[in-house]
Amino acid sequence: MNTNQSKPWLQKELLQHIQLLLYSFHHWTGDTLIPIADRQLPEEIADLLFNANFVVVSHGTQVDPILNYGNQKALDLWQMDWATFITTPSRYTAEPIERSEREQLLAQAKSQGYISDYRGIRIASTGDRFYINQAIIWNVVDKNGKLWGQAATFSNWEAIA
């Protein structure tokens, strides 16, 4: 079995993207997204992030940004498989009524570099709604400051009945 098919987050491009996620999170917040040991292989780091007990999602810089990464917690929460998730416009993670607030939030993060302690309503592919709490949203940048997209992480969410 091809590892990249069973574990698509181990593709070369995504290994590089994960490094950008980790670098830019630390750049903006001063914190680490996950603990990394010296000389840890990129594939090991990718597995740690994918299997973390918190949500990590990101999207690109398209006019209508497309999700380009979600770890297992994100896939479970939005009730999507990998292939569906990474082809979904990120605006669909929020209900239509919540999208203007989401856009304002993303614009604020883009101008500041990151924001923390965000709380908002999101919607799964099945229509299930949930609050995300204490989310951090940051610009994904490389060491030259080039913008590659935006990402979010949170470990606190609750279903809305």
Which tens digit of pLDDT belongs to each residue from 60-106? 999 999 999 999 999 999 999 999 999 999 988 887 666 677 777 77
**Which has more confidence, 106 or 161?**
161
- Answer yes or no: is pLDDT of 2 > 70: no
- Give percent above pLDDT 90 in the chain: 69
- Answer yes or no: is pLDDT of 109 > 80: no
All structural domains of the chain with their residue ranges: 3-160
* CA 42 to chain centroid: 18
- Give percent above pLDDT 70 in the chain: 93
**Which has more confidence, 37 or 22?**
22
Domain 3-160 has CATH 3.30.450.20: yes
Which tens digit of pLDDT belongs to each residue from 114-148? 988 888 888 899 999 999 999 999 999 999 999 99
Ordered DSSP codes for 67-123: EEEE-HHHHHHHT--HHHHTTSBGGGGS-GGGHHHHHHHHHHHHHHSEEEEEEEEEE
Per-residue pLDDT, 3: 45
For residue 159, the SS3 value is strand
- CB-count burial class (<10 Å; 0-12, 13-18, 19+) for 117: exposed
